[in-house]
Each structure stands twice: as structure tokens, then as C-alpha cells.
């Protein structure tokens, strides 16, 4: 999403034992146009974090999203389409719900800023600011960008041309035309909050993450911090919430939209059960609104800023910024139909790097998911459960003499079939859950998936290296080694299936069901690996495998 054209803000919320519930958020989406992959990426980051948290049984968790439905841009878009703003928002909000549901985003709350519960919260929030003396009425003038719904300083402008080819001022970042506006508005004393904001960030160095965005906000706080216009003249903007007690003014759309993070958790009555343990997930283009204006507004209202603001970059298409004028906006619904829901979820979360922009093109999707999901992971499951190699369709037994804890143990000498490479595999898979947890906690889901993919490749190497299809079941010694190879392979697959649940939920369910892993055996908090290697009983050993669920992931056509 760009600076305001389609901002998305998300929150997901958790509760930990003995602590206040923790809301964590992902953006609501601006209801002026259809969803694109940037919106979906933001939603999937929040969804994967939510699912990962749930697999740790960390208490109640919420993922909240919705649509931001007020503002001049929506008012103008509705007029251009010959419809009312309410009808436009109803239609676009439905498109976002549909896209999120299609993508299996497990949101728990969907807020529309046109809802009465939200508008009541905004009016109350405004009243708290007014009563706190941080609002005043003043004349404001400057260059206003309607698509971004914000005034821009001269430093953020460039020379450009309008639709008729005439010279005009444009936004340096987005290229949108700006217009000079002079209004009497309500102003927020943002300048008074420089020190409180700096103190907050110095005390909480991980409040904004990744670090480059944290450093960016610190730089902004060292620059000029003018007071913020927080209303618009009602005769210019009718589609919004009127300022309480002043029907000539409309509350600034960004103030209205940001309060959704509070209204969804019951502000002003019951928000304390969740706030301030909130994680916002936002695109980098709306960082200033979330990391500067929003914390200042909260502090002015006597509330703490959110616990963390997780920031991600944008998606380009074949090296170019997505733009309606270029005709290169990627429709996520089409992609999910073409590549499958899990295939497209995997691609975006595997390739998306929060610190830098990522490039999309169709060939990249096909190559990645065919290689890592269809060939390597799917092929491994298919080969290790095939009737020709596992005719009993069971979770075979592990032979400790074939694969002893110590490679050169005297007791196992002469029976050992495992080699040094195999021990490296076991060490890698044993450490994988902790690695994945660490990467999820540090908002690096792509690195977690990279580690999983590497281990899957190692497991394929293990399977290929020992060629179980060449072993003779009629020979008791070879039978023990064959069963051990299969047991190790299935244990690896069980770990991968469990760890992949937040990213590819349907495919992971298919894999775990094939291995007869029950619903209560899929949590991350109780995940163990190869218990028999440590001399402990394995609950899966000897268990009948689940029904053949077919090809795990069908290869995509180029």
C-alpha cells in the first residue's frame, strides 16, 4: 500500500497467562479500490504470526482488520462512479472480506469505520483530546495530496504534469498531484510530544521493527515537528465523522482510522483487557502515521503506545511499482486460483523480506512452489509412504543399533548403518523448532521458511543416499535399517508439517493427516523429534498411517 491510497494496518491480539491480553494489529484497508498483493501480504504476515502464537497455546489471540471508509478520496471516487460513498464502501469492503476469506486469513474481527461502535469511540477519543487541551483552532495552509489524505511539506514535492500535460506539483514519493489548500482547522499540538516520543523509543528500542524503520522515526523526531491538522472543513468533506460540538468541521480521516485499533477492543469501556499489548503490522508508507502521529495522540489521550509496530516494505511487479495507470496491479484472487491458496501464501511469505521491496513475477512463483512444495516436500512424502516401500502403511520402528546415539559406540559396532551426514541432519532438524520460533518472534518469517526448506532438502538427501527401495525386506538386518530410514524420514516430515501450519495450513493438515498425527498432537509447545534416538518411547511408532491424501501439492504449469 502506498502512503494513503490503500493503507493497511493490522493487529493481532494475544493473552498470556498472568498478563494482560495482548492485542496485535494488522492494517485496516482503505476502501477506495480492490485488494492487491500488497494488501494480502500484510494480512498474511499477521495471519502467520497469529497461527504460530496459537500453536504455542499462548492464550486467547485476536487478529483484527477491516476497512477504512471515510475521507475525501472515497467521496470523490464515489462521485466519479455515480454512486454514494456508502454504496462504494459496502462493495469494496465486501471485496476485502472475500479476498481474506479466500486466502484463509483467520481474522477474528473486521472493523468498518462507518460502523456506529467505531464512530462512538472516535467521538469519545476526540473529547478526551479536547478536554486535555491539546487541540486548538487555527488557520492551516499547504499542499494537500488527496490520494494520500495528507498535507505534504515542500521537501516532499517535485515538479510534474497533470492529466492535461500542464505543469503541477506532485508528491515526490507517489507522483500524485497535490493542491494548495487553506482552511480553518483544528490542530493537534504534536510539537509538544517530541520529548515523550523520544523517551518512549529510547526505553523501547524494539518498539518499531525492523531496525531501519526505528532509526527512520528517530531521525524524524530530530527534524521540525509542526502541529498536525486534525480536521477538515465540512463544506469540503462531508463523508466523515463530524467534530463533536462543531458541525462545520469533519474529523481528519487518519485520526478516525487510527482509533479503529481502540474501538475493536471495546474503547472506551473495556479496552484495558487488551491494550496496550498490541502489535501493529503496517506498510512502510504509513510509518509516520503509526509511529509518530498515533503514539503522540495516544499519549495525549492518557494511553500507552502499542507494544510493537512491525513494518514491511512493498511489492513491485517486474521491477516496477504497482500502478493502475501502468496496468500491472496484481489481483490476489486470480493468483490464488492459478497457484492455489497455499502455494500463493507460501510464495509471498517465503519471498517477502520486510526490510526491502520485493519483486513479483509469475515465473518466480511457479519455480519456487514447484521446487520446494511439489518436488522436494511432496515428493519426499509420496516416496516414504508409497505401498512399494511401506506395504504395511505404518509408522515403522526405529532401530537404535542401526542409528546409535554415539556413532562409534562399541555396542553397535558392526550394525551401524548411519553415516556422519545423517547425524548432521538429525542435529539440524532437532534445532529447527527453536530456530523457527526465533525467526517468527523477530518478524523474519522468510528466514524461518528458508531453514525449513534447507532441512527438507537434507532429508531428501538422506533418503536418496540410503536408497531404501534397494533394501531386501526378507533380510532381517536390512528390514531393520529400512524401517529406521522410514522412521527418521517420517519424523522429519512430521516436524516440517507442524512448523508449516502457520504458512500453508491446508497443505500442512494434509501432510499431518497422512502421518496420522491427531489434532492434539500438532502444537508447537509439545513438539518433539525422534524420541527413540534418545531412548524414549515414540507415540507414533507402529501406528497405522492415515488414508492416502493424494499428491501433496500439484506441480504448476509454466
CATH number of the domain residue 384 falls in: 1.10.730.10
Residue 175 — left, alpha, or beta (φ > 0 → left; ψ -120 to 50 → alpha)?
left
The answer to whether residue 252 sits within a structural domain is: no
Residue 156: per-residue pLDDT: 83
Decide: 127 and 81 in contact? Cβ < 8 Å: no
Closest by alpha carbon to 291, among 276, 272, 310?
310
Write down the residue that cell numbers 515526490 correspond to.
Answer: 172
Q: What is the pTM of this model?
A: 0.90
The answer to whether residue 131 sits within a structural domain is: no
The answer to whether residue 205 sits within a structural domain is: no
The rounded distance, in Å, linking the Cα atoms of 341 and 324 is 24
The answer to whether residue 264 sits within a structural domain is: no
The answer to whether residue 399 sits within a structural domain is: yes
Residue 43: per-residue pLDDT: 96
C-alpha dist (Å) from residue 308 to 291, 342, 434: 10, 28, 22
The rounded distance, in Å, linking the Cα atoms of 261 and 280 is 9
The rounded distance, in Å, linking the Cα atoms of 425 and 489 is 10
Decide: 277 and 19 in contact? Cβ < 8 Å: yes
Q: Please report which residue ranges of 61-115 form alpha helices under DSSP H.
A: 72-80, 85-102
The rounded distance, in Å, linking the Cα atoms of 282 and 39 is 10
Burial of 410 (0-12, 13-18, 19+ CB in 10 A): exposed
The rounded distance, in Å, linking the Cα atoms of 533 and 27 is 46
Total count of domains within the chain: 1
Dihedral sign from CA coordinates of 228, 234, 240, 246 = positive
Residue 496: per-residue pLDDT: 98
The rounded distance, in Å, linking the Cα atoms of 237 and 249 is 8
Closest by alpha carbon to 48, among 345, 292, 286, 463?
345
Q: Find the radius of gyration of the CA atoms of the chain.
A: 27
The rounded distance, in Å, linking the Cα atoms of 67 and 115 is 10
- Residue 231 has φ and ψ, to the nearest 5°, of -150, 165
C-alpha dist (Å) from residue 454 to 372, 438, 445, 458, 505: 10, 17, 14, 6, 20
473-511 b/e (C-beta count within 10 Å ≥ 16 → b): eeeeebbbbbbbbbbbbbbbbbbbbbbbbbbbbebbbbb
The answer to whether residue 421 sits within a structural domain is: yes
Residue 125: per-residue pLDDT: 98
The answer to whether residue 146 sits within a structural domain is: no
Residue 413: per-residue pLDDT: 54
Decide: 66 and 11 in contact? Cβ < 8 Å: no
Decide: 95 and 72 in contact? Cβ < 8 Å: no
CA dihedral 97→103→106→108, nearest 10 degrees, is: -10
Longest CA–CA separation in the chain, Å = 92
Residue 530 — left, alpha, or beta (φ > 0 → left; ψ -120 to 50 → alpha)?
left
Dihedral sign from CA coordinates of 407, 412, 416, 418 = negative
Residue 160: per-residue pLDDT: 87
Residues of the chain with pLDDT under 50: 1-20, 23
**Owning domain of residue 535:** 364-544
Strand pairing partners for 209? 310
Residue 10: per-residue pLDDT: 47
The answer to whether residue 458 sits within a structural domain is: yes
- Residue 183 has φ and ψ, to the nearest 5°, of -140, 160
Q: Would you call 418 helix, strand, or coil by DSSP?
A: coil
- What are 319's three cell numbers? 521491477
Amino acid at each position: 500500500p502506498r502512503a494513503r491510497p490503500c493503507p493497511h494496518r493490522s493487529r493481532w491480539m494475544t493473552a498470556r497467562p498472568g498478563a494482560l491480553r495482548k492485542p496485535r494489529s494488522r492494517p485496516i484497508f482503505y476502501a477506495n479500490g480492490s485488494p492487491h498483493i500488497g494488501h494480502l501480504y500484510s494480512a498474511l504476515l499477521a495471519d502467520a504470526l497469529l497461527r504460530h502464537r496459537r500453536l504455542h497455546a499462548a492464550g486467547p489471540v485476536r487478529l483484527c482488520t477491516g476497512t477504512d471508509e471515510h475521507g475525501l478520496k472515497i467521496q470523490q471516487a464515489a462521485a466519479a462512479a455515480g454512486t454514494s460513498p456508502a454504496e462504494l464502501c459496502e462493495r469494496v469492503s465486501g471485496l476485502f472480506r472475500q479476498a481474506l476469506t479466500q486466502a484463509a486469513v483467520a481474522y477474528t474481527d473486521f472493523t468498518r469505520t462507518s460502523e456506529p461502535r467505531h464512530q462512538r469511540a472516535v467521538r469519545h477519543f476526540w473529547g478526551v483530546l479536547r478536554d486535555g487541551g491539546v487541540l486548538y483552532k487555527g488557520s492551516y495552509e499547504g499542499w494537500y495530496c488527496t490520494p494520500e489524505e495528507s498535507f505534504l511539506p515542500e521537501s516532499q514535492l517535485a515538479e510534474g504534469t497533470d492529466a492535461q500535460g500542464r505543469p503541477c506539483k506532485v508528491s515526490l514519493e507517489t507522483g500524485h498531484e497535490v493542491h494548495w489548500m487553506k482552511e480553518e482547522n483544528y490542530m493537534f499540538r504534536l510539537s509538544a510530544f517530541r520529548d515523550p516520543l523520544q523517551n518512549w523509543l529510547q526505553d523501547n528500542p524494539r518498539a518499531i521493527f525492523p531496525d531501519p524503520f526505528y532509526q527512520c522515526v528517530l531521525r524524524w523526531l530530530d527534524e521540525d515537528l509542526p502541529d498536525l491538522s486534525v480536521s477538515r472543513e465540512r463544506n469540503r468533506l462531508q463523508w466523515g465523522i463530524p467534530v463533536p460540538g462543531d458541525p462545520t468541521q469533519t474529523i481528519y480521516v487518519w485520526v478516525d482510522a487510527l482509533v479503529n485499533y481502540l474501538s475493536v477492543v471495546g474503547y472506551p469501556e473495556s479496552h484495558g483487557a487488551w491494550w496496550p499489548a498490541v502489535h501493529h503490522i503496517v506498510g512502510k508508507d504509513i510509518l509516520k502515521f503509526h509511529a509518530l502521529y498515533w503514539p503522540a495522540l495516544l499519549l495525549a489521550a492518557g494511553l500507552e503506545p502499542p507494544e510493537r509496530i512491525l513494518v514491511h516494505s512493498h511489492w513491485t511487479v517486474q521491477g516496477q511499482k504497482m500502478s493502475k495507470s501502468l496496468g500491472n496491479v496484481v489481483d490476489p484472487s486470480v493468483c490464488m486460483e492459478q497457484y492455489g491458496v497455499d502455494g500463493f501464501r507460501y510464495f509471498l511469505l517465503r519471498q517477502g523480506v520486510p526490510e526491502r521491496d520485493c519483486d513479483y513475477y509469475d515465473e518466480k512463483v511457479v519455480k519456487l512452489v514447484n521446487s520446494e512444495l511439489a518436488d522436494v516436500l511432496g515428493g519426499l512424502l509420496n516416496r516414504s509412504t508409497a505401498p512399494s516401500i511401506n506395504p504395511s502403511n505404518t509408522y515403522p520402528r526405529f532401530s537404535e543399533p542401526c542409528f546409535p546415539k554415539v556413532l562409534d559406540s562399541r555396542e553397535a559396532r558392526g550394525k551401524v548403518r548411519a553415516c556422519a551426514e545423517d547425524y548432521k541432519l538429525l542435529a539440524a532438524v532437532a534445532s529447527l523448532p527453536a530456530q523457527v520460533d526465533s525467526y517468527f518472534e523477530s518478524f523474519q518469517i522468510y528466514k524461518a521458511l528458508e531453514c525449513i526448506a534447507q532441512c527438507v532438502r537434507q532429508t531428501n538427501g538422506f533418503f536418496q543416499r540410503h536408497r531404501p527401495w534397494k533394501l531386501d525386506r526378507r533380510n532381517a538386518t536390512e528390514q531393520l535399517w529400512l524401517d529406521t530410514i522410514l522412521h527418521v524420514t517420517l519424523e522429519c516430515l512430521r516436524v516440517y508439517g507442524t512448523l508449516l501450519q502457520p504458512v500453508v495450513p491446508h497443505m500442512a493438515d494434509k501432510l499431518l493427516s497422512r502421518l496420522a498425527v491427531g489434532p492434539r498432537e500438532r502444537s508447537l509447545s509439545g513438539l518433539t523429534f525422534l524420541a527413540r534416538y534418545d531412548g524414549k518411547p515414540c507415540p507414533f511408532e507402529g501406528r497405522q498411517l492415515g488414508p492416502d491424501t493424494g499428491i501433496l501439492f500439484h506441480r504448476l504449469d509454466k
